[in-house]
C-alpha cells in the first residue's frame, strides 16, 4: 500500500489574523513567493473580523471592539495601502458610584466625584508631583506618601481598577505584569481620549474589507475551516509561520499557558442609541466588564442599534477562544521555556498575541510581522 504524497507549499501561515495576513502579503508581494494561509474559522481577519448586522445595518466587531491607534508612521502607511480611514478618537466612560466619568480617570473625573475644595487641592498636588497632562500608572500613584494623593489612588484603584481587573483577569492588579495595569493610567489633565496616539481611526469600510484587500494577491491562497491539527503531517513547507498558541504547538510539553477568553453577548435594540458613547465600563457593577455600542465607530445612521456585553472567562481549549495572554512573572517564565524550544526549530516562526504570548495592540501585531518579514527578506538577498 503506497504512502499518500505530502502536499508541499513554499510558505505556510497558520492563522488568518492580522499578523498572519501581514506576513503573507509581504512575502507574496515583495518576494514573489506563494503562500498558503489556513485558519480554523470560517472567515478571514481573525479577531478584527467585522460584518454588518442584517437587522440594524450596524458594522459589528464580532470579537469585541477594535480601534486602530499608533504613533508609527510605518504602520499607518502600510495599512493605508489597503483601506481609507474614518478618523475616530476613542472615548470611554466608567460607571463609578452610579455616575459616568471619563476613563482614563482624569481631572474631570476627579471634579465630578469629589467635593469641590477637596478636588481642587488634590489637583494642585497631582500637577505639582507629576506635571500637567501626564499619565501615571495606578500602582505608582498608590506608592505616594502624600495623604490626599494616597486617598485618591486608593479610591481610583477600588472604584476603577480592582473590580474590572478581577473580572477581566481573575487576578488582582498586583498579581499581573505592570504593563497590564499601565495600559489604563491615571491622567493628570483633561484629555478624555482613551488613546493619545498620533494616528487613530477605523477602516472606512470595516476591517474585513481591509483584510480582503491584503489577501488579494494571486500568490496568496486561503483555506478556511482548516485546523492545524488536521493539516499537520499532511503538508510540508519551506517556512512555517504559526500565530496560534505556542504551548498548543508543542503539545503543552511544559504545561498550559493561561489565557483569558470572552463570552460576548450581542443585542439589537429598537432605538437610535443605547448609551452616551461607544464604550461604558462597569468596574463595580454586574458580571460584564463593558458595554459597547458599535454604530459610534463609523458614525452609522440607523434607526436601530447593536450593543455587546463582555463577560470574561477562563480559556478552555475546544470550547472558546484564547483572547488574552495572562501576563504575570510566573507565566512569563513558562513562556520563555516554550520560546527557547521554538528557537531551535529551523524556518519556523511564531508571531501574534498567541504565538508570542504578548498583549499586543493592532499596531504592535503589524510592526512585529513587518520586522519578521524584513529579517526573512535580508536572508533572501
What tens digit of pLDDT does each residue of 287-339 get?
999 999 999 999 999 999 999 999 999 999 889 999 999 988 899 999 999 99
Is the pLDDT at 166 greater than 70? The verdict is: yes
Mean of the per-residue pLDDT values of the chain? 94
Q: How far, in Å, CA of 250 to CA of 252, rounded? A: 6
Residue 315: partners with Cβ closer than 8 Å, 6 or more residues away: 258, 259, 260, 261, 321, 322, 323
* Cβ atoms within 10 Å, residue 205: 16
Give the pLDDT mean for 266-284.
97
H/E run at residue 37: strand 35-38
Is the pLDDT at 341 greater than 80? The verdict is: yes
Alpha helices in 241-361 (DSSP H): 246-249, 329-343, 352-356
Domain with CATH 3.40.50.720 in the chain: 1-44+215-257+325-381
Is the pLDDT at 381 greater than 70? The verdict is: no
* pTM for the whole structure: 0.93
Is the pLDDT at 380 greater than 80? The verdict is: no
Give the pLDDT mean for 114-137.
97
> Residue 183 — pLDDT band, cuts 50, 70, 90?
low
Give the pLDDT mean for 139-158.
92
> Residue 277 — pLDDT band, cuts 50, 70, 90?
very high
> Residue 181 — pLDDT band, cuts 50, 70, 90?
low
pLDDT, residue 138, reads 86
What tens digit of pLDDT does each residue of 351-366 get?
999 999 999 999 999 9
DSSP letter for each residue of 239-271: EEEE-S-HHHHTTTTT-PPPEEEEEEEEEEESS
Whole-number Cα distances in Å, 15 to 84, 121, 287, 305, 363: 25, 52, 31, 31, 17
Is the pLDDT at 3 greater than 60? The verdict is: no
pLDDT, residue 1, reads 46
Give the pLDDT mean for 196-202.
98
**What's the CATH class of domain 1-44+215-257+325-381?**
alpha beta
Amino acid at each position: 500500500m503506497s504512502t499518500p504524497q505530502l502536499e508541499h507549499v513554499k510558505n505556510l501561515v497558520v492563522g488568518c489574523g492580522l499578523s498572519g495576513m501581514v506576513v503573507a502579503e509581504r512575502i507574496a508581494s515583495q518576494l514573489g513567493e506563494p503562500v498558503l494561509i489556513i485558519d480554523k474559522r470560517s472567515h478571514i481577519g481573525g479577531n478584527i473580523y467585522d460584518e454588518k448586522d442584517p437587522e440594524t445595518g450596524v458594522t459589528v466587531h464580532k470579537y469585541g471592539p477594535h480601534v486602530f491607534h499608533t504613533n508609527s508612521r510605518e504602520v499607518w502607511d502600510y495599512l493605508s495601502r489597503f483601506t481609507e480611514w474614518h478618523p475616530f478618537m476613542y472615548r470611554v466612560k466608567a460607571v463609578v458610584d452610579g455616575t459616568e466619568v471619563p476613563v482614563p480617570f482624569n481631572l474631570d473625573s476627579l471634579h465630578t466625584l469629589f467635593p469641590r475644595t477637596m478636588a481642587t487641592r488634590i489637583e494642585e498636588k497631582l500637577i505639582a508631583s507629576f506635571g500637567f497632562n501626564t499619565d501615571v500608572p495606578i500602582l505608582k500613584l498608590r506608592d505616594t506618601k502624600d495623604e490626599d494623593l494616597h486617598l485618591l489612588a486608593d479610591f481610583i484603584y477600588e472604584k476603577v481598577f480592582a473590580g474590572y481587573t478581577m473580572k477581566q483577569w481573575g487576578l488582582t492588579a498586583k498579581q499581573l505584569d505592570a504593563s497590564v495595569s499601565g495600559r489604563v493610567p491615571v491622567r493628570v489633565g483633561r484629555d478624555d481620549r482613551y488613546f493619545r496616539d498620533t494616528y487613530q481611526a477605523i477602516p472606512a469600510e470595516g476591517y474585513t474589507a481591509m483584510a480582503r484587500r491584503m489577501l488579494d494577491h494571486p500568490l496568496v491562497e486561503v483555506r478556511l475551516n482548516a485546523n492545524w491539527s488536521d493539516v499537520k503531517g499532511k503538508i510540508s513547507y519551506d517556512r512555517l509561520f504559526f500565530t496560534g498558541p505556542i504551548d498548543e504547538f508543542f503539545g503543552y510539553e511544559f504545561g498550559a499557558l493561561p489565557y483569558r477568553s470572552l463570552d460576548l453577548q450581542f443585542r439589537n435594540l429598537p432605538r437610535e442609541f443605547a448609551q452616551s458613547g461607544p464604550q461604558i465600563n462597569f468596574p463595580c457593577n454586574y458580571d460584564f466588564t463593558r458595554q459597547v455600542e458599535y454604530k459610534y465607530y463609523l458614525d452609522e445612521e440607523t434607526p436601530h442599534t447593536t450593543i455587546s456585553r463582555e463577560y470574561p472567562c477562563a480559556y478552555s481549549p475546544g470550547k472558546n477562544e484564547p483572547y488574552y495572554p495572562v501576563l504575570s512573572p510566573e507565566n512569563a517564565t513558562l513562556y520563555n521555556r516554550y520560546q527557547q524550544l521554538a528557537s531551535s526549530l529551523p524556518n519556523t516562526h511564531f508571531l501574534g498575541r498567541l504565538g508570542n504570548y504578548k498583549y499586543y495592540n493592532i499596531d504592535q501585531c503589524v510592526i512585529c510581522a513587518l520586522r519578521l518579514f524584513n529579517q526573512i527578506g535580508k536572508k533572501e538577498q
